[in-house]
């Protein structure tokens, strides 16, 4: 990739986001109804490669069950309101009713309530009673204890997630999580680790024995990490780099560890581009926050919004645009790509000639910064379709 000088002796790499690229149609096309969208993690195959993010405005027990019954996966945040309050609905209602000026302060105060370990097991058991997969998430500092509880409660997958995750974490204040010990010895269920955006870190995380890797720092609709901390890599480049690490690791070890592009995708087109860049699956927040079943009541907030000293997320109004089934499978009633995400993926795969996700990775990609605006003068002027 080309290097550019941004000052005397200081080089910088040009990186790309979803709005700057486009996918080239294939020389062969495939019937969208006949493509295989399935992916595998921990030895199990799942038909829907789209996960709902572990955010309190997106996933609660009811949403996780609804998603599971539609063959999807939803990740429950074990450090959110679901494990701090026996009856979280009242709390969620207060967050939705807050003014924009008071929302962050209110969320901070609400998350001061201690996490109750008995609620961790209870929420997982409630999901499992519906005969759907239970996937839960915690930060590295709480992973050992919460992972133990989750395993005993028969969770299917455990996610260890923080803003930036590395194998080599230096701290005198607390003991850093030993990912090797955690993934290979403590946990008997698949562990997904995140988040990272670079080739080198991805390779190091793969060696821990994890079953999946989350890719993305700061692209989420409700995340303010890039503005607060100034860090992040656009999702196209981040996904391609981590996919290259996955392929190199597989060539060396024979083990395929799926990468999951996390954040920055609000429409079907973004999701399709993520798969073309090498993703095995994607994790989406804001698109699902708009579902009638979502606990946020049309609002969505970042995972780091409650941070007491340095919030790196905000509450945004996304509205409610349909049922979870409409958002995932259609029929779409809107023309902006926010509904029928699976239909969009299947149709895109068919048009580029990809019979499965692995073939989707081979799609020709072009740099096309005008792809969002070319010929869309009337849409932009009338604020419809792609001009919204």
* C-alpha distances in Å from residue 329, one per residue of 203, 236, 272, 337, 358: 35, 25, 15, 12, 22
Q: Whats the size of the chain, residue-wise?
A: 388
Distances (CA, A) of 13 to 1, 5, 10: 7, 9, 10
**Helical segments of 37-173, H only:** 61-69, 81-84, 88-97, 103-110, 117-128, 140-152
CA 115/CA 134 separation, integer angstroms: 19
Q: Across the strands, what pairs with 315? A: 301
Counting other chains too, the contacts that 261-264 makes at CB distance below 8 Å and 24 or more residues apart are 261/215, 261/216, 261/235, 262/53, 262/194, 262/195, 262/214, 262/215, 262/216, 262/220, 263/53, 263/216, 263/218, 263/219, 263/220, 263/221, 263/223, 263/235, 264/17, 264/18, 264/216, 264/219, 264/220, 264/235
Q: If residue 299 lies in a helix (H) or strand (E), which one and from where to where?
A: strand 299-301
Q: Which of 37, 208, 225, 261 does the annotation list as catalytic?
A: 225
Beta-bridge partner residues of 284:
52
Place of tokens 């996955």: 246
From the CB of residue 230, how many other CB atoms can be counted at a distance below 10 Å?
8
Which residues sit opposite 3 in a β-bridge?
A: 13
Query: Of the candidates 181, 360, 160, 191, which has an alpha carbon nearest to the alpha carbon of residue 279?
Result: 360
Task: Provide the b/e sequence for 60-71 (b: ≥16 CB within 10 Å).
Answer: bbebbbbbbebe
> Catalytic site residue 29?
no
Active-site pick, 183, 196, 210, 223: 223
DSSP string of 153-219, one letter each residue = TT-SEEEEE-SS--S----SSSPPP-HHHIIIII-SS-EEEEEE-SHHHHHHHHTTT-SEEEE-SS-
Establish whether 223 is a catalytic residue. Answer: yes
Catalytic residues: 223, 225
């Amino acid at each position: 990739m080309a290097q550019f000088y941004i000052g005397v002796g200081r080089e910088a790499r040009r990186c790309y986001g979803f709005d700057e690229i486009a996918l080239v149609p294939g020389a062969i096309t495939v019937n969208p109804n006949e493509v295989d969208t399935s992916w595998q993690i921990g030895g199990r195959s799942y038909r829907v490669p789209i996960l709902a993010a572990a955010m309190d405005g997106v996933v609660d027990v009811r949403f996780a069950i609804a998603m599971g019954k539609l063959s999807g996966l939803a990740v429950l945040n074990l450090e959110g309101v679901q494990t701090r309050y026996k009856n979280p609905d009242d709390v969620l209602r207060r967050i939705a009713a807050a003014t924009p000026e008071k929302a962050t302060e209110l969320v901070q105060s609400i998350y001061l309530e201690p996490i109750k370990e008995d609620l961790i097991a209870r929420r997982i058991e409630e999901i499992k009673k519906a005969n759907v997969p239970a996937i839960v998430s915690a930060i590295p500092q709480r992973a050992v204890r919460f992972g133990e509880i989750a395993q005993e409660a028969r969770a299917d997958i455990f996610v260890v997630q923080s803003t930036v995750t590395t194998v080599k974490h230096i701290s005198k204040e607390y003991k850093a999580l030993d990912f090797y010990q955690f993934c290979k010895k403590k946990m008997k269920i698949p562990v997904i680790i995140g988040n990272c955006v670079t080739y080198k870190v991805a390779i190091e995380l793969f060696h821990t024995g994890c079953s999946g890797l989350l890719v993305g720092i700061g692209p989420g609709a409700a995340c303010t990490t890039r503005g607060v901390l100034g860090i992040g890599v656009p999702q196209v480049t981040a996904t391609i780099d981590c996919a290259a690490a996955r392929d190199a690791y597989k060539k060396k070890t024979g083990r395929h560890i799926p990468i999951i592009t996390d954040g920055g995708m609000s429409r079907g087109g973004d999701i399709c581009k993520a798969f073309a860049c090498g993703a095995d699956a994607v994790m989406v927040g804001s698109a699902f926050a708009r579902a009638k079943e979502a606990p946020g009541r049309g609002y969505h907030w970042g995972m780091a919004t409650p941070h007491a000293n340095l919030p790196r997320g905000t509450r945004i109004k996304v509205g409610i645009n349909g049922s979870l089934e409409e958002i995932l499978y259609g029929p779409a009633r809107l023309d902006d790509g926010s509904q029928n995400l699976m239909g969009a993926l299947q149709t895109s795969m068919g048009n580029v000639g990809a019979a499965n996700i692995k073939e989707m990775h081979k799609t020709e990609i072009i740099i096309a910064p005008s792809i969002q605006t070319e010929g869309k003068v009337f849409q932009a002027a009338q604020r419809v379709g792609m001009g919204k």
